Chains A and B, each alone.
Chain A
Amino acid sequence: QVQLVESGGGVVQPGRSLRLSCAASGFTFSNYGMHWVRQAPGKGLEWVSLIRYDGSNKYYADSVKGRFTISRDNSKNTLYLQMNSLSAEDTAVYHCAREAVAGIYYFDYWGQGTLVTVS
């Protein structure tokens, strides 16, 4: 079955960096675009970034553009999010999510998420 397992979250000081990972299994990872979606404590969902199935294109929300970098290693079935210059506003649970159909950006599988606390 499809599984997405995030890791790498934790408590980090403002201005520092953190790298999140999302290990995928149960499907052909290299066939799917992948996304990061975050949720601040007690708040709604905010899309963060996407990467095409082959890593050829990457897009970011304005709130993270220039600070976050999405990447993937299809040989390791792993998605990454490098987060730099973190601020309190980045405190959230970060979920990785799979787009249900290549190029159509709704999400059929989500990971449980990893909590990032900037403090």
Chain B
Amino acid sequence: DIVMTQSPDSLAVSLGERATINCKSSQSVLYSSNNKNYLAWYQQKPGQPPKLLIYWASTRESGVPDRFSGSGSGTDFTLTISSLQAEDVAVYYCQQYYNTLSLTFGGGTKVEIK
């Protein structure tokens, strides 16, 4: 299985400041034939299901504010919230879909307001 490791486990950021979440995979999720990284990011608020934010490591889902961005390639990825808003308080998960027979998620990063 591909192990997804997120860091930090939690972070507190002031409103309007930048939040950065890291995700590292135990093996590359870059598919060489199409040069795409099989990596998605989700946001989960309390009592709600996860919501897709980013796929292909950097493509924003329709309707997702542009303060959310994804970057990285191979084994190292980052989700950045450029200017934290109160409604961004949530747990964020990365997910690899490279290994189609064993999909795996990171352990989650909890984002709070400082």
B50 touches A105 (CB 8 A): no
Contact with B along A27-49 (1 / 0, CB 8 A): 00000000100000000111100
A44 to B40, CA, bound (A): 15
Question: Interface size bucket, B side?
Answer: 20 to 34
Interface segment among B12-20, B65-73, B74-82, B104-112: the answer is B104-112
Chain A's closest residue to B49 (CB) is A110
Chain A's closest residue to B1 (CB) is A62
SS class, residues of chain A in contact with chain B = strand
B93 touches A104 (CB 8 A): no
Closest beta carbon of chain A to B111's beta carbon, Å? 15
Q: Given the complex, which residues of B lie within 8 Å of A100, measured CB to CB?
A: 52, 55
> Known pairs A44-B107, A45-B93, A45-B95. 7 more at Cβ < 8 A?
A44-B105, A44-B106, A44-B108, A45-B105, A62-B102, A103-B100, A110-B50
Interface residues of chain B, those whose CB is within 8 Å of chain A, are 40, 42, 48-52, 55, 61, 93, 95, 97, 100-108
Interface residues of chain A, those whose CB is within 8 Å of chain B, are 35, 44-47, 50, 59, 61-62, 95, 97, 100, 103-108, 110-113
Q: 5 closest A-B pairs (Cβ-Cβ)?
A: A110-B49, A106-B40, A47-B103, A105-B97, A45-B105
